[in-house]
Structure formats: structure tokens, C-alpha cells
Chain A
Amino acid sequence: MFELQGINKHFDAVVALENASLTITPGKITALLGSNGSGKSTMVKVLAGLVKPDSGEILFDGQPVHINAGIDSRKLGIGTAFQDLSLVPTMTIMDNMVLGVEPVTKLGLVDRKKALNEVSDLLDRFHIRCNPFDFVQTLAPSTQSMLEIAKAVLMKPRLLLLDEVTASLHSEEIDTLFHILKQLKAEGVAMVYVTHRMQEIFEICDDVNIMRSGKTVIGAPVGELTLDDIVFHMTGQRPDTENKEHETEVSHIENQELVLDVEHISIVPKVKDISFKAYKGEIVGIGGLEGQGQPEFIRALIGDLKFECDSITYLGKKIHFNSPADAVKSGIGFISGERNKEAMFPERTISENIFAGDAAKGKLFSYLFSKQVRKFAQGAVDKYDIKIGQLKNPASSLSGGNQQKLVVARWISMNPSLLLLDDPTKGVDIHSRRDIHNILHKCAEEGMTIIISASDTEELLDISDRIYVFYEGMVSAELSGKNKNAERIVAAMVGMTSQSLLEKEVE
């Protein structure tokens, strides 16, 4: 029914989709799979009218169509349930459900009675026990997710797009959802189902479409693929069967001093139960698909988020930080990938930006000689090879990569004993990325402990000594030494714990 061919999309220099294609048949559920940044969400947004492709063709019943806005997509009968929700929080459930498709009386007013009937039926069907007049912002996240799906179903779509809708649902809600999806399938509705939960694919999907770095790698019926095949197509590498030795080798790091020991931390709602260790001079990587609790975990460590925990031991002392300022005082550094929001002062000069961290340590009212600031900044610029025009230019004049190097320089010159990085190379060019890696390696050699979360698997493998993979707010695998390879990381990312992988290999 629907066919997407040769879709290309660039966001500035980043290639989101490259010659991607997708075929959708009525009465079938097509799973759209891929790891981070493979372009599956962009693909959904193209169909929903939120992203306009640079080139490529969308065929509907063999006719080429153009989808330029949400309204075009709706007119074609495409209903979308977005991962990040598209409900208006300040409106009631009823108003949200019928938004854009309101039934109207002869006088041109919204037919509240009819809308109420439709919505009540829908809520019953989805087993959502809520008053239709409740405001959406007062509801639990899982209920909102269900409403998002209900809203897409209400418009009686011919094609239903579901983008990671089960991520925040409870198991009984998922059962209800699957029941409804099967009904819709019987009615001949086509569906595209984006997920990272493998068992769901085998439960309800008919076709599988796997994407890797913006390209469509394979499209096939679900029965023709095994789990191994899927992981292979997602990573591009066969699981290395030679590499069977279990995690027997005790790495040299075990003998080192334990810097950070976190026992059973949980952060509502993302992180459920994570225990975490980091040794002196080690680079610990945190991997996982987006939204599995990595940023929350790191922010909790520096005291920026509320959490519950059995104990956190840092350098032999039990600690809990009330604010990032406390954490910084105890020698913890934090570098965020969200430079503009959380790290930089874009309007201030480069030298001030570099000096900012050191200044925070000094006395509040001690006079800062501009020469001293400049000298400090010049030192850092030379040492970390940051490409700048002049020190007095605003920090926003730098390229993304150099901005990030500047932030790294600021924190490292404070000489923290533990450095936390949350996806620090987001939107950073490959050259600066390598520079940052070199800086981090050097620091680790000098005895700094580094915890780095990265969305890019290659990067993670490249930089870290040991990797924790997060899945649904828990650690699904801890990989080091020979176990540290792309297949295992990807397998763990989609929730196959190292244990279950090992069992499979034994068979």
C-alpha cells in the first residue's frame, strides 16, 4: 500500500537517512529496527509529516504523494503515536483525543456529546479508567502513552505508526495494546512498529525492516530471521563464535583502588536498580539505547537528581551529594553533551569560559586579574589544541567540536579525581572526537577515573576499558576484556543479558 523509496535526509552535516526504503502492506505489522541514530525515528517522522525528506519518493497505492505537514499525513489516513507524545498537556483527555478531527454540529460548534461518546468508547476499549474531563498533564506517563495510541486509533487510520510506544507501558497495558493491534490487523490496517524489544517483534510483527546508519539493510518476513540474524543486520557483524571464553579473566584493574561503588541505585522513573563500580585509572563506558536511564544515572551521581540508593562509596567514604556544587568540591567533574544548555556560557569570552571552573573554586570576592585569566586560558588552549580565533571572542564563535574541547579543558584543568561524561561527543566532528579521546586516555593514565556514557557503540568500544550496558533502567551486561565487542553490546542493548546470550551459545 505504502512504499518509500530512496529517501535521503540530512540535518546539516549529519546524514539521518541515506537511500532508505520501506514497504508497508495492509493487514500486516512491519517492525522497524535499528540501533541509535540508524534513522528509524526519522523514517516515522517523514511519514507523519514532521520531517521533510531532501529527496526520494513516497508512493501511496502506486501514486506518488507529498507529505509536507501533519495535516497531509492525516489526510492520507496515517495515524501516528509518537515516542515523545503529541498530546497537549493543558487540555482534557476528550479535547486531546478529538483534536483536529472534532465532530461538529450544524451550528459549527464542537459536538461535545458525540465527542464524549466516541472518547468514552475508546477509553473502554483501551481499558483506560479515567474521566474524559481530566487534564492530560495530571495523568501517569503510562496512561499518557496509552492515550497517545488511542488518539492515533480514533481517527480510523489506514496506516498506524507506532514509535516505541511500549517503552513506558506496564505489562497488562501491553497485553491490551497487543490485543487491539491484532484486531486492527484483522481489519486490514497496516502498521509500522518501531521498538527495541525483540520479544515483541516475534510476538506480533509480520515483517521486519532493519536500518543501519540511515540505510535500509534488509526487509523480510519475521519467520525468515532468527535473533542472531537481526543482531547481525543491526551491527553489520556476525556474532564471533570463536570468542566463547566466559568472563573468567580477572582484569588487572581488580587490584586497583576502588574509586566509586554504587549499590542498588534507583531513580524514579527511569532507573530501576543499578549497581556500579569504577576503579582508579579506569575508563568505564555506559552504553545502551537512548532513554534507558544513562543521563539520569550520571546526573544522580553529581547530585542533580533525586535518587534512592543503598550506598554510594566514593574514595572509601560513604557520600551523598545535595547539589552539583558539593560533588565538584569533592573532586568530581561533569561534562555534558548538551553544551549550550549545561556547560557553556555562549555569550562570554573563551578565556572566561575556560576559567569558569577554576574560578568556582576560588574565594568569592577575590579579584581576578584579567592577565591571570588569559594566561590560564592560553595554557589550556595550547595544551588541548583548541582552535580559536582570539581568546576574547565569545565561546559561541567556536565550532561544536572545539566548544566541547573547551568544556573538557575547563574540567580537566580542575584536576578532578572522578570525571563523568554524558555523551560528550554528541554533534562533534570526528577529528575533535579523537582529540577528546586522546585527552581522556592520557588523564586515565595519570590516574583519573572516567565514566563516560556514549550513544555510539564504536566510540564506546574504542575508549572504554569496561562497559556497562543499560537496558530499561537496569544493567543488562557488564563487558570487559574479550567480551567487549559490538555484538554483545548490541545484544545487551536490546535486553538480551549476557547470561541469556551465553545460554544460547551453549545450545
Chain B
Amino acid sequence: MERVKQYFLQFRRSPAFTGFVLFVIAIILNVIIQGPSSFFNPKSINTLFMSNTPFILIAMAQSLLLISGTLDISIGIQLALVNVIVIMIPQELGVPVYVGWIFGIMAAVTVSILCGVGSSIMRLPSMLVGYAMIFIIRGVNILIMNVPQGSVPKVLYKAYDSLIGGLIPVSLLVIIGVFLLCVIIMRTRFGKHIYAVGGHPRNAFAAGINPVSVQMKAFILKGFIVGVAGICLTLMTASGNPLQGEDYGLRSLSACILGGLGFGGWGSVSSGIFGAGFFVIIQNTVYYFFTLLYKLIPGFTVTSYWQNMVSDVILLLGLLMTIVTAKAQRETLKKGLIKQFKRGEKYGNK
């Protein structure tokens, strides 16, 4: 019991708690608006997981990078790279689909290493490296596949879309698998070094850690997760599209921030999951909210842009929430406001 309490207290103080609170609020809202019977239907849960697994996975990958003190916004278009490779290699070379999968993961790892070379070894601003990589990868994608095309064997995408025992979505298992992998890695020495490098690179160096090598390894791990996410994306869409998923890059970043991440060396992979979950659930909720409005108010019609706007405003409120819940940021905000409005009393002699 004491141990459970200890763990809870630790969780309560961790940044992931912010994301957790947001996530729970979002789910409660969703259940109320959609209705419990409709929400807890295994089929609709399956659809929710299936269509959002790639996003949740790359949010985890991004959170790994954020913890180690760097980031990659080209992560979204990397999904499309994996997608086109996974489709084109079996189609053009006639090899089994699984070989395509291996090549897809290898491609993701390779571009991740390139990003790592730019931002960790050459020490360029990681935002710029990611931005440049978006254009490079997009070009490569179009070279490999000039128009959306291709298909996936029916057995595979049916399997991805199925429920095990009629209850647990296969895609959920993928998420759990990757999450466990991350949790285990975070408990190894390498995991601790990720935190140290993200928290204070110079001091990590003084403790005998090589910050560059740690960040490079984080990039490779991220590449592997992106590869898995790309395969999920392919199974979900059952075709190839060289230009999809580009906005996932910035979306995964905001998901991590919603989950409570932001400074290096702080937080955990679950921040990414909760943030992405909040993102997904809010969009879902707003969709049902509008269908509810259509039913309740006869003759009420608006374009779907309104839905996007409402969900974006809620996401913005979520970001504000992270400021209020994270203690360090709350203190900064408070101090800033005090300094603005009544600094005279706080400074100098009374």
C-alpha cells in the first residue's frame, strides 16, 4: 500500500499528470456527449484506436526526443516515406510484404539518423533541420511514388482492423507493445542518460556521459517507432500516398506539450500518449457535439470548418491548462504577473 502511495505521489508530481487530467476530462466529456452505449461499443472503440494509432505512436517517438532535449518536426512526412516504401517494394520487386516492412523501418531509422547528425552532431537548430528534412523527404517520396497508388493484402488490413476476442483492438496491442518497449528502455542506464542529457548536457558530460551519442541513440529509437507507425498507417489506409501525414509533425509536438512535456529532461513517454489521446478524443467529441446540435436544432447547418475551429480552441485551452497544472510554469506565470502589476512593493525597501 505504501508503495502504491509512493508511486501515486510521484505520478502526481510528474508532468504526465497534466496530460492525464486533460485526457480524463476529455473522455468524460466524450462519453456524456456521445452517450455511453455508443462510446463503449467495441466497434467504435476499435475505429478510434485503429485510425489514430500512427499519431499516438509518433507522439511517443516525439516525446522521447523532447526528453533528450531535441525534436524533429519532419516526423510526419517520415510516416509517408515508410508508407510509400512499404507499398512500393513488394509491388515493384515482387518480394513478400514483410520484406517491405523491414525496408520501411530501415528507411525511417536512416532518415532519423540524418536528422540526428544535423541537430546533435552538427548542432544546427533542430527546428531548421526538421524543416529542411520535410522538403528532402517529400522529394524522395515523390521519386519513389509519383501518384497515390498501391494496395495491401486484404488479410493484413483486415487483421489490423479486427478485435481479439471481440474486445481488444489489434492496434491497441501495437500501442501497448511500443509503450512497454519505451518504459523498459527508460529504466535502463540508457534511459537515465536520456533524462540527464535532456536536463543538462554539460553536467551529463561531466558525469561521464557522451551527450551526442545518447541523442543519436534516441533518434534511432525514434526512427524504429516511426517505422512501426508507418506500417500501421499503411494498414489503416491500405494504399500509398507520398504526401500524407505532413501535419502530424507539428501535431505530435503539440500533443507532447499538451501532455506536459516541454523542457528537456522532464516527463515521460506517457505524456505523449495522454497528449495525443486528448487531441484525438477532443476531435471525436466535437464531431459528436455537432451531430447532436444538428439533431437538437432543426435547420442548423454549418461547414466542417466550424468543427475544426471549435476543437482547435479547446486544444488551445488545454495548452493554457498545462501552464496552470505544471508547478514550475505556474510559478513563472504568477511571478510575471506580480512583476507586471505591483512590483513596487516587492522591490526595494518597504
Q: Which residues of A contact B (CB under 8 A)?
A: 48-50, 69-71, 73-74, 80, 82, 85-91, 95, 98-100, 102, 104, 108-110, 112, 133, 135, 303, 306-312, 320-323
Q: Do A102 and B204 touch (CB < 8 A)?
A: no
Q: Chain B: which residue is nearest A50 at the CB level?
A: B206
For residue B94, which residues in chain A have a CB less than 8 angstroms away from its CB? Answer: none
Please pick, from A49, A90, A99, A307, the residue contacting B266 in the complex, using a CB distance under 8 A.
Answer: A90
What is the CB-to-nearest-CB distance from A66 to chain B, in angstroms, rounded to a whole number? 15
Please pick, from B6, B205, B209, B265, the residue contacting A91 in the complex, using a CB distance under 8 A.
Answer: B265
Q: Does B344 contact A (CB under 8 A)?
A: yes
With A91-B265, A306-B347 given, can you name 7 additional A-B contacts, CB distance below 8 Å? A86-B206, A88-B199, A102-B192, A104-B188, A110-B191, A303-B347, A306-B346
Complex alpha-carbon distance, A286 and B21, angstroms: 53
Q: Chain A: which residue is nearest B203 at the CB level?
A: A86
Number of contacting residues on B, CB 8 A?
A: 34
For residue B199, which residues in chain A have a CB less than 8 angstroms away from its CB? Answer: 88-91
For residue B155, which residues in chain A have a CB less than 8 angstroms away from its CB? Answer: none
B163-213 contacts to A, CB under 8 A, are 184, 187-189, 191-193, 195-196, 198-200, 202-210
Q: Does B10 contact A (CB under 8 A)?
A: yes
What is the CB-to-nearest-CB distance from A157 to chain B, in angstroms, rounded to a whole number? 12
Q: Do B204 and A88 touch (CB < 8 A)?
A: yes
Q: Do B192 and A110 touch (CB < 8 A)?
A: yes
Q: Does B263 contact A (CB under 8 A)?
A: yes
Q: Do A310 and B10 touch (CB < 8 A)?
A: no
Known pairs A88-B199, A90-B199; A71 contacts B210 (CB<8 A): yes
Q: Do A109 and B188 touch (CB < 8 A)?
A: yes
Complex alpha-carbon distance, A99 and B214, angstroms: 14
Complex alpha-carbon distance, A313 and B346, angstroms: 19
Please pick, from A49, A70, A90, A102, the residue contacting B189 in the complex, using a CB distance under 8 A.
Answer: A102
Complex alpha-carbon distance, A312 and B348, angstroms: 9
Those 4 A-B pairs whose CB atoms lie nearest each other, nearest first: A320-B348, A90-B199, A90-B265, A88-B199
What is the CB-to-nearest-CB distance from B66 to chain A, in angstroms, rounded to a whole number? 12
Q: Compute the total of residue contacts between A and B using a CB distance below 8 Å.
A: 103
Q: Do B10 and A133 touch (CB < 8 A)?
A: yes
Q: Do A110 and B189 touch (CB < 8 A)?
A: yes
For residue B158, which residues in chain A have a CB less than 8 angstroms away from its CB? Answer: none
Known pairs A69-B205, A70-B206, A88-B203; A99 contacts B349 (CB<8 A): no
Q: Mark B315-350, 1 if CB is under 8 A from A, else 0.
A: 000000000000000000000000000011011110
Q: Do A110 and B188 touch (CB < 8 A)?
A: yes
Q: Chain A: which residue is nearest B15 at the CB level?
A: A90
What is the CB-to-nearest-CB distance from B212 to chain A, in angstroms, rounded to a whole number? 11
What is the CB-to-nearest-CB distance from A304 to chain B, in angstroms, rounded to a whole number? 10
For residue A69, which residues in chain B have a CB less than 8 angstroms away from its CB? Answer: 205, 208, 210
Complex alpha-carbon distance, A82 and B204, angstroms: 13
Complex alpha-carbon distance, A322 and B346, angstroms: 9
Which residue, of A50, A108, A312, has the highest number of chain B Cβ atoms within 10 A? A108
What is the CB-to-nearest-CB distance from A284 to chain B, in angstroms, rounded to a whole number? 21
Which residue, of A50, A102, A309, has the highest number of chain B Cβ atoms within 10 A? A102
Complex alpha-carbon distance, A228 and B125, angstroms: 53
For residue A312, which residues in chain B have a CB less than 8 angstroms away from its CB? Answer: 349
What is the CB-to-nearest-CB distance from B265 to chain A, in angstroms, rounded to a whole number? 4
A-B contacts, 11 listed (Cβ < 8 Å): A48-B206, A70-B205, A71-B210, A74-B207, A90-B198, A90-B263, A99-B192, A99-B204, A99-B207, A109-B187, A322-B348
For residue B13, which residues in chain A have a CB less than 8 angstroms away from its CB? Answer: 135
What is the CB-to-nearest-CB distance from B344 to chain A, in angstroms, rounded to a whole number? 5
For residue A310, which residues in chain B have a CB less than 8 angstroms away from its CB? Answer: 349
For residue B200, which residues in chain A have a CB less than 8 angstroms away from its CB? Answer: 87-90
Which residue, of B10, B206, B208, has the highest number of chain A Cβ atoms within 10 A? B206
Complex alpha-carbon distance, A108 and B348, angstroms: 55
For residue A89, which residues in chain B have a CB less than 8 angstroms away from its CB? Answer: 199-200
Q: Do B343 and A322 touch (CB < 8 A)?
A: yes
What is the CB-to-nearest-CB distance from B319 to chain A, in angstroms, rounded to a whole number? 21
Q: Do B206 and A90 touch (CB < 8 A)?
A: no
Q: Do B187 and A88 touch (CB < 8 A)?
A: no
Complex alpha-carbon distance, A71 and B205, angstroms: 8
What is the CB-to-nearest-CB distance from A168 to chain B, in angstroms, rounded to a whole number? 17
Complex alpha-carbon distance, A306 and B335, angstroms: 13
Complex alpha-carbon distance, A26 and B309, angstroms: 70
What is the CB-to-nearest-CB distance from A149 to chain B, in angstroms, rounded to a whole number? 14
Complex alpha-carbon distance, A299 and B265, angstroms: 32
